[in-house]
Structure 1
Amino acid sequence: MNLFVIGFGYTAQRFVARHGGAFARISGTVRSVDKRAQLAPYDIDLFDGTPPATTTLAKAAEADVVLISVPPGPGDDPSLTAFGDAITTGRARRVVYLSTVGVYGDHKGAWIDEDTPLAPEHDRVQARVRVEEEWRARIGDRLAVLRLGGIYGPGRNALVELRAGRARRIVKPGQVFNRIHVDDAAGAIIGAIRRDSGGAWNIVDDEPAPPQDVIAYAAGLMGITPPPELPFDSAELSPMARSFYASNRRIRNINSKRDLGLVFAYPTYRAGLNALWADGEGR
């Protein structure tokens, strides 16, 4: 199989590192020259939202699998605009789109699953829903949408944040989040590729938990005192950071385990942090 990746971000890079051997050829796009240099072993072109080169479009059209790992823009989605025709008429039997659980909106801590109606509350997640719908309208059952929880893993976790002095224990009573270790997200991608049909799945861990608990557990592993709790109402947060706290829900992952054969290496944040600490993260 040939793989074409639009946007080699954190999750896409981890997927290729762990599962790249499943593909005869890996190509794709990045936004910057520096990122292109980092990915020198692969066939990478630059794509910054302007019309891509003819050769880049040809690679997308010739791919058996396409992984889309970039967020939509404020207006038209640049990836859909640039590559929609090439992928729609191309040979790809599976297009995997990395979305977000934010598309469900706020459920005041209630349990939800893939049958829960989408209710995006902010422009950023409303754009995600539009892109999901537009890709589905174009390619139908070839599309697999993976709605990811908060992604963490090597270099991006509470241990690193504590060691750098950036971690804060912001408390909003009753607030919980689902997370997903990047390696389990990579496992979900390969599961979606191997599946005979498309669909939409929640890619989240087994245990939605308050964010302050994650920081406290990481501090315990490190043998340090956790930062003091900071009430959400008085915390200084960017608009984007504050928007994450606007939605409160517990997300089921039963369908992803059943349909994608997903077996979590890290079913809880504790399992994930334990492994990261053992590997030297935050030391």
Structure 2
Amino acid sequence: MPTLLIYGLGYLGEAVARRAGEAGWRLRATSRNPDRGLIDPTDADALGTALSETDALLVTVAPTSEGCPALATLGPLLAAHRPGWIGYASSTEVYGDRGGGWVFEDSALNAASIAGARRVAAERAWAPFGAHLFRLPAIYGRGRSTLDRLRAGTVKRVHKPGQVFNRIHIGDAAAGVMASLERPNPDRAYNLTDDDPSSMDTVILAACARLGIEPPPQTDLDDPTVSEIMRGFYLDSKRVSNARAKAELGWRPACPTWREGLERLLSKP
């Protein structure tokens, strides 16, 4: 039974863990929450032992101002035992703003935000280890969707003409990682995105129509009620191609657009 170590059992990590378990993988994982009974992400001894029994390593934690926290701990340990497959969950933020144009895995990295620049640095730090890079857009799923935010009354319908971006359902993101595990290709980057980059306004209006509620009023990007995090989100406008993942991994998103994603979330309790 092969073993997968997931450094960071968060939203994406848990989705990958479910699929890997169903596929027959033995699982190990880290968490900063001691109540979960998982490996402490700063415990070098425990991680060293886990790595010695690991066939594949997936890193899902975001970088900080000091770099990738996983690499800070795992880097020295990987000299003693390097799994046959290493994956790093990155972000399409690395491409920066393209004015609505298309980007591909070989496009220049031109992050427009601090978070994006940190992702670029983390990708480069993992390069000597032959990591598979998964560049992910905004991830949505049950409990983390426009539908949930509309029901909670927390949606800001920010108006920025021409702004578009991709999304990915959490199940499709996990399926893309699993497809790479089955078809390893070290040092390769993959965009795991949907097929239909669209504006946030388009999705909000469609979601409101399906819920039978009035859309929230439009808010200008420079409105003081718009958070800095949200302003940063609207820095980028681009269309991200997923052609490489489809061609090389045989991956196909079950929710190829946000429309199928909305329907899936509405149809399952």
Aligned to 1:40: none
CA RMSD of aligned residues (A): 1.5
Aligned to 1:105: 96
Aligned to 1:271: 260
Are 1:156 and 2:144 counterparts? Answer: yes
2-structure distance, mates of 1:24, 1:249: 36
Query: 1:233: how far off?
Result: 2.7
Query: 1:108: how far off?
Result: 0.7
Aligned to 1:67: 58
Aligned to 2:168: 180
**Compared with structure 1, are the counterparts of its residues 151 and 24 closer, same or farther at alpha carbon in structure 2 (3 Å cutoff)?**
closer
2-structure distance, mates of 1:73, 1:61: 27
Aligned to 1:170: 158
Alignment-mate amino acid for residue 90 of structure 1 = H
2-structure distance, mates of 1:266, 1:92: 31
- What are the residue-to-residue correspondences of 1:1-283 with 2, within 5 Å? 1-34=2-35, 36=36, 44-47=38-41, 51-137=42-128, 139-140=129-130, 143-198=131-186, 199-234=188-223, 236-280=225-269
Calculate the TM-score normalised by the size of structure 2. 0.94
How much identity, in percent, do the aligned residues show?
Answer: 36
2-structure distance, mates of 1:89, 1:159: 47
**Compared with structure 1, are the counterparts of its residues 209 and 23 closer, same or farther at alpha carbon in structure 2 (3 Å cutoff)?**
same
3-state DSSP class of the match of 1:180?
strand
Query: 1:88: how far off?
Result: 4.4
3-state DSSP class of the match of 2:39?
strand
- CA displacement, residues 137-168 of structure 1 (integer Å, 9 cap, x when unaligned): 2x13xx11000011001111011111111112
- Structure 1 residues not aligned, in runs of 5+: 38-43
Alignment-mate amino acid for residue 219 of structure 2 = L
Alignment-mate amino acid for residue 106 of structure 2 = D
